[in-house]
Amino acid sequence: MTMPLSSCHAARIFDVSQRVALVTGAASGLGQAIARVLLDNGARVVMGDKHAVAPCGNDRRSLAVECDVTDDAAITGMFDQAEQQFGLVDVVFNVAGIGLRESAAETSRDHWRTIMRVNGESAFCVSREAGRRLIAARHSGSIVNVTSFLRERPMRNVAAYGASKAAMHQMTRSLAFEWARHGIRVNEIAPGWFPTGMTAPFLEGRAGSVVAQANPMRRLGSPDDLAGVVLLLASDASAYITGASIAVDGGQHLD
């Protein structure tokens, strides 16, 4: 059914004020930026991270939870706290992750397993917990996995990291297909180079300038560049979008 044009007001279709959102990796970087966008636009936000999360926005609409996403009991506890404080979580952003920059020849089995566990496996487990609860409640929802342009673009010294993000990409498509009948949308944001604590060791100095100049838009990403896609995927504006991957990379994927 096509929505009447008279009802397609941006303030309504992008409204997240009735959403309960959970953001992993919210203590810093892109997770913190995403949590702030949601809070600034009226959502109630649970900020989960292995490290302590600093207050962000209105304390009455935010809840900080220390959670190791590699621990199933911790994930369950995080959702339980969210429900006790705000009710059912209907928006999830899987942002928690770690990087690994070393040559393939030097990447040990333990390093490979660790990055797969933190990035891919944990995003699945958080999504699974959200999906179980939404299905049981017969409630629609939105799950967003934050991957990377490296999910499909080869680059030296990031074989394990790229593979973990590629796994998240395929997981997004699979969950979207399986849960569409329950009204649960599963989509993906694939950022390019954004200065964060994880990317700082690589982007500091001359490397950052080189990367920026190689980008079609001739710059790195900034937290504000995420706001539009975050609100799109968290709101009814994306009611008929699932299994999609949205690149937020200044056109880097086109190169």
3-state secondary structure 172-216: HHHHHHHHHHHCEEEEEEEECCCCCCCCHHHHCCHHHHHHHHHCC
The answer to whether position 206 is within a domain reads: yes
Contact between 204 and 248 under an 8 Å Cβ cutoff? The reply is no
Examine residue 11 and state whether it is found in any structural domain, yes or no.
no
Residues annotated as catalytic (active site), given as ranges: 161
Terminal-residue alpha carbon distance, the chain? 37
In-domain check, residue 3:
no
Quick check: pTM over 0.75? Answer: yes
Q: Mean pLDDT of all residues in the chain?
A: 90
Instruction: Give the C-alpha separation, 255 to 226, whole Å.
Output: 21
Confidence of residue 2 (pLDDT cuts 50, 70, 90): very low
Partners of 47 in the beta sheet?
A: 23, 64
Residue 129 falls within a domain, yes or no?
yes
- HSE-CB at 4 with a 13 A cutoff on CA atoms is 2
Residue 199 binned pLDDT confidence (cut-offs 50, 70, 90): confident
3-state secondary structure of 6: helix
Q: Which residue has the tokens 């080869």?
A: 154
- pLDDT, one tens digit per residue, over 140-155 is 999 999 998 777 777 7
Task: Let me know if residue 253 belongs to a domain.
Answer: no
Task: Report yes or no on 88 lying in a domain.
Answer: yes
- Above pLDDT 90, what percent of the chain? 66
Average of per-residue pLDDT across 36-59: 87
- CATH code of the domain in which 75 resides: 3.40.50.720
Half-sphere exposure of 54 (CA within 13 A, CB side): 5
Q: Give a yes or no: residue 9 inside a domain.
A: no
The two tokens of residue 183 are 């009204």
Structure tokens at 196: 């964060």
Q: What are 105-159's pLDDT values in tens digits?
A: 998 999 989 999 999 999 999 999 999 999 999 999 999 999 987 777 777 777 8
- Tally of domains within the chain: 1
Determine the pLDDT at residue 1.
38
* Contact assessment for residue 214 and residue 208, using Cβ atoms and an 8 Å cutoff: no
* Phi/psi at 28 (5° precision): -160, 175
Paired tokens of 125: 């487990």
pLDDT score, position 6? 52
Distance CA 105, CA 200 (A): 24
The label of the residue with tokens 């926005």 reads 57
Find the Cα–Cα–Cα–Cα dihedral 217, 238, 129, 171, rounded to 10°.
-50
Higher pLDDT, residue 2 or 177:
177
> Do 160 and 100 touch, CB atoms closer than 8 A?
yes
For residue range 161-182, list pLDDT tens digits in order.
889 999 999 999 999 999 999 9
Beta bridge partners of 187: 144
What pLDDT does residue 7 have?
Answer: 67
pLDDT surpasses 60 at 188: yes
Q: Which domain holds residue 145?
A: 17-248
Which is higher by pLDDT, 196 or 19?
A: 19
Q: Per-residue pLDDT for 55 more than 70?
A: no
Residue 1 lies in a domain: no
